[in-house]
Amino acid sequence: MIHHSDGKTLAVAVVGASTRRTKYGNRAVRAYRAAGWVVYPIHPTASAIEAVPAFRSVLDVPGPIDRATIYLPPHRVLTVLPELAAKSVPEVWLNPGAESEAVIARGEELGLRLVLACSIIDIGRSPENPD
């Protein structure tokens, strides 16, 4: 398990989680679980992703989120950023394809800490073999 200095397990919201195992939004759910994080898949209609209960919005997630990792196209990311700011998510990862100049500008305007990189690699997993 990955823990805070206070002993609590780190939590990640996978925004754009997918029910399709070939999609990176699904691979992220599996990679973070394998790495010991508490995972909150965010999906507009699915009740679960990889047997993990899913939520329609980060605002529906009970308790704090330490990191959000985003797998959406930029025009949809723009609609999610205000929710991430309202939830006070301290770290927002824009995976390849989720970023744009407008997304970066809006994220900075909202005071979000944006990271433009693959979050699966950051946790020491392979996007091609996340389990």
Per-residue model confidence (pLDDT) at position 130: 87
4 assigned to some structural domain: no
- Decide if 102 contacts 47 (C-beta within 8 A): no
96 assigned to some structural domain: yes
Instruction: Provide the CA 27 distance to its chain's centre, in angstroms.
Output: 11
Helix and strand counts by DSSP (H, E) for the chain: 4, 7
Per-residue model confidence (pLDDT) at position 131: 85
55 assigned to some structural domain: yes
The domain total for the chain is 1
Give per-residue pLDDT as tens, 9-58.
899 999 999 999 999 999 999 999 999 999 999 999 999 999 999 999 99
